[in-house]
A and B are shown apart, each in its own frame.
Chain A
């Protein structure tokens, strides 16, 4: 499966070439990026169909791992890898289609290349490199709104992210000094002997904080409200929806393969719980929609970290369910917030002017809350079941925290929905057709998934079994036999 490298490399190649293309012809540069993304998404879907979801690997440079870098694609990795170009296409910034948008196009392509790389890579330092590329590209996209406050917010984002990178680098150094390898499969062999000690835990903490910056993890999420309030809304949607999931995917792989320690899981649970409580309380106090969504995103990702902390297949299913639900939800909410960015009290009666937008918003709010027939309910239920499985006091406290925060969430979301349908005049501009179309598409997927829930649950369970199979990961990446590939 040497072609597995292509969906990562082609966007980078296109990014290098998009500016000279812009010098030659403006319309060529405009359509170049989306076409390449379409091609990449097609190739990834093709890989998924060809392998029937069985894991495959590709040795980059033709060197057998652990010497060279290896890409590993199981159904989990492919799912997120496909999500990156797909959501980038849906949320392609409007500025990139205007004259002089070739720089923004290039940054979007770099974001997609690095994001796909993060989903596929099976090498610790390679993950770090792609993560840094993702970070630099997202700085540029946040700053691309061109306002002074966006630049100031980007500087803060850059400093926090840079500090996280330093810690991640220290974590890589600690791991390499202990084991002498960076390949995740080989690390999983060495881990019980060489990394199940205080040094290993410290390395995990460093990597967690480092990768946690993008996943809005508790101590390093101070950038979130400012950036989401100042960046273009499509960029906010991309950062909160897709980029945060990729960072969590890396943490999930690390905890599955390398750091399968109870202490590591406990720290995730505690940090996730703090994130959930602080995020939801701040969202409750927020007075404008973009920042309310930003804080609620911190809370939702805290919930996701708690799901990741649950051991076993049930925890993985919970994590996947919460992650996919949030992946659909957050971009749509940010798109709807584009024209409703004023203070909350200014939104009174906005729903009567824009019934479709308000209807979608209500649907998403109900699912976010976990009102029974909607998918959000099942995601929260699996999470609570997973937490309830454990006897520890911490897990009991976490269940209590989740339920309490659901009440807080209900209060501010219902207050907002009530405001939308209030009987007062409202003068907000109507939503753009493109934004509404994308939000409706995501809402339709959400509704369509309801009758398919049994099949969906079965699929997630199968995916979770596959992802938690460490022996298969080792066999596919390190072993010579590649099972299940139809020639």
Chain B
């Protein structure tokens, strides 16, 4: 009876949404803010990737909120999974063995590759698809691959705490620097350079670097907590 009722509810919800979506002007939705941003963004931020302009400049405080959410999730996971007596006895009972030679050699090979791909994606965020979030995930994957191959070698918690704190603080710091310089919080500063060059778009690549390190550190911290 309960299942039938919820099934009917979901079918009703879907029918309602389909009925509503049929009225939407999809495929030719009105572009009000989007059109204005497309016209002004290259001149105002100097970034070739306009999505990056939106993420870091026009809606920069959303991105700050998002970083804070990741930070909050990692903090809560750490709070909930903080090693209890129960968990410690289990760890002692089951020593962790390293993976086999193939996996260890593979992870050694992958680690520098993943690191460089991650930083490449982060640093080219203002030119090509990608950026701090995508690159940060690749960075976290680099650390997690080596953790999977050698479970006994724990990632340094202090290191992760310091990186996530400094990366988050430098994102806000760049924003506050603009504020102290007489502008608004998170206003793009520094020289915009030539559109399409690696060194261009002012402070946006720096912000994306902070985002990348922060995301990488938060995800490594989360995965390390979950793995323990």
Contacts and interface: CB of A to CB of B under 8 A. Distances in A.
A touching B, CB within 8 angstroms: yes
Interface of A: 2-3, 5-6, 8-9, 12-13, 15-17, 19-20, 23, 58-63, 66-69, 103-104, 106-107, 110, 113-114, 117, 125-126, 129-130, 132-133, 136-137, 139-140, 143-144, 151, 170, 174, 176-183, 186, 197-199, 202
Contacts of B183: 2, 62
Contact of A16 (B20, B80, B169): B169
Nearest to B71: A16
Contacts of B188: 61-62
Interface in B25-49: 25-26, 29-37, 40, 44
A103 B33 contact: no
A67 B36 contact: yes
A136 B33 CA distance: 30
A61 B172 contact: no
Nearest to A203: B20
B175 interface: yes
A177 B33 CA distance: 12
Contact of A60 (B40, B161, B185): B185
Contact of A186 (B32, B34, B79): B32
Nearest to B70: A136
Interface in B47-63: 57-62
Majority SS of interface residues in chain B? Answer: helix
Interface in B102-160: 158
Given A61-B185, A104-B79, A66 B32 contact: yes
Contacts of B161: 19-20, 23
B176 interface: yes
Nearest to B25: A177
B62 A126 contact: yes
B10 interface: no
Nearest to B29: A177
B65 interface: yes
Contacts of A139: 76
Given A179-B32, A180-B34, A199-B23, 18 more contacts: A3-B179, A9-B64, A17-B169, A19-B161, A62-B186, A66-B36, A103-B78, A113-B68, A117-B61, A126-B61, A133-B65, A136-B69, A139-B76, A144-B79, A177-B25, A178-B30, A180-B32, A181-B33
Contact of A12 (B34, B68, B178, B186): B68
A107 B75 contact: yes
A214 to B, nearest CB: 15
Which of A17, A19, A151 has the most B CB atoms < 10 Å from its CB?
A: A19
Contact of B179 (A5, A16, A23, A68): A5
Given A16-B71, A137-B72, A178-B24, A151 B80 contact: yes
Contacts of B23: 197-199
Nearest to A113: B68
Q: Nearest 9 pairs between A and B by C-beta?
A: A140-B76, A180-B32, A62-B187, A16-B168, A62-B184, A5-B185, A129-B65, A180-B30, A136-B72
A58 B187 CA distance: 12
Contacts of B72: 106-107, 110, 133, 136-137, 140
A412 B166 CA distance: 53
B175 A132 contact: no
A69 B33 contact: no
A107 B71 CA distance: 9
A182 B32 CA distance: 10
Contacts of B25: 177-178
Contacts of B31: 180
A60 B69 CA distance: 19
B69 A132 contact: yes
Contacts of A62: 178, 183-184, 186-188
A9 B69 CA distance: 14
A170 B14 CA distance: 12
A183 B33 CA distance: 9
Contacts of B172: 9, 12-13, 16
B73 interface: yes
B158 A136 contact: no
A58 to B, nearest CB: 7
A20 B76 contact: no
Contact of A5 (B17, B59, B61, B79): B61
Contacts of B16: 202
A61 B16 CA distance: 39
B198 interface: no
Given A67-B37, A67-B40, A23 B61 contact: no
A151 B79 CA distance: 11
B33 A180 contact: yes
A308 to B, nearest CB: 24
Nearest to A13: B172
B223 interface: no
22 contacts: A12-B168, A16-B71, A60-B186, A68-B59, A69-B62, A103-B78, A106-B71, A106-B75, A126-B59, A130-B65, A133-B69, A139-B76, A140-B75, A143-B76, A177-B29, A178-B29, A178-B30, A180-B29, A180-B30, A186-B33, A198-B23, A202-B20
A282 to B, nearest CB: 21
Nearest to A200: B20
A235 to B, nearest CB: 13
A431 B200 CA distance: 61
B168 A103 contact: no
A180 B73 CA distance: 31
B211 to A, nearest CB: 13
